Amino acid sequence: MQEERGGPLAERLRSALEDGGFAKDGRLLPERELADHMGVGRRALREALALLEAEGIIWRRQGQGTFVSAQRPREPVQLLRTGIHTTPAELLEVRMELEPILGRLCALRATREQVDRISQAAVQASQAETPEAFEISDIAFHRAVAEGANNSLFLAMFESVAAVLKNSGWRAVRQSTFSHSRRSQVSRQHQKVFEAIADRDPFAAEQAMRQHLASVYEHLQNRV
């Protein structure tokens, strides 16, 4: 029988973590124990953990282990229903109002570890070779900025928007715009946001995020 791996395994692990399994005091079981509990190989487990890390569900600290991120709100059913009928313009209007604020607050409040995670997410997006990988890493970058703002209500608002972005129809639209040249352009924009945050420059971070999302909006208008 072919070993379970990738998305299905990540989904099973995600459900278990949401129910409070496989973690103690916010820290996941060691990889060997976790693989034994789930009945999979460690390579397959690492692939699933990488997906969950990109989604912001877990994070890793070298030498100390893997940890569950702060409890994130479940996706509201009513919002998801609304998201099915919304348009790219509506979604980008919301993002262009919300995320520049998150960038500004992130520059003011992010911890060193949070800044490092933003940097790592930017690198992962810049190296993505497929539309799916780029989609995951791009959302991971924006989530890392949202988490760095250290405001639980703003984070809940971001997760509501991200829930709409994860809709299969939205993924198809966004992934259809993927190209290596576009990836390079977005990566440069991500880098400007990161540098402003790392420099603790709230105005520059807000402006860089606003310019990035304006570029996303323009690109989607030309492709959709």
Phi, psi (degrees; rounded to nearest 5) at 24: -135, 125
Asked if domains 6-68 and 77-223 share a fold, the reply is no
- What pLDDT, on a 0 to 100 scale, did the predictor assign at position 119? 93
Q: Give 76-106 pLDDT, tens digit per residue.
A: 555 555 555 677 778 888 999 999 999 999 9
* Confidence tier at 204 by pLDDT (50, 70, 90): very high
Question: 52 burial class (0-12, 13-18, 19+ CB within 10 angstroms)?
Answer: buried
Q: How many CB atoms lie within 10 A of CB 31?
A: 14
Q: Are 22 and 28 in contact (CB under 8 A)?
A: yes
Enumerate the β-bridge partners of residue 164: none
Higher per-residue confidence, 23 vs 211: 211
- Contacting residues for 9 by C-beta, under 8 A, at least 6 apart: 38, 40, 44, 45, 47, 48
The mean pLDDT value for 139-159 works out to: 92
* Confidence tier at 134 by pLDDT (50, 70, 90): confident
Q: Give 100-118 pLDDT, tens digit per residue.
A: 999 999 999 999 999 998 9
Q: Are 210 and 96 in contact (CB under 8 A)?
A: yes
Query: For domain 6-68, which CATH number applies: 1.10.3090.10, 3.40.50.2300, 1.10.390.10, 1.10.10.10?
Result: 1.10.10.10
Q: Give 156-200 pLDDT, tens digit per residue.
A: 899 888 877 776 456 666 656 667 788 899 999 999 999 999 999
Q: Give 21-46 pLDDT, tens digit per residue.
A: 888 778 888 888 988 988 888 888 88
Domain boundaries, the chain: 6-68, 77-223
Q: Is 71 left (phi over 0), alpha (psi -120 to 50) or beta?
A: beta
- What pLDDT, on a 0 to 100 scale, did the predictor assign at position 107? 98
Output the average pLDDT for the chain: 82
Check: CATH 1.20.120.530 for 77-223? yes
pTM, two decimals, is 0.71
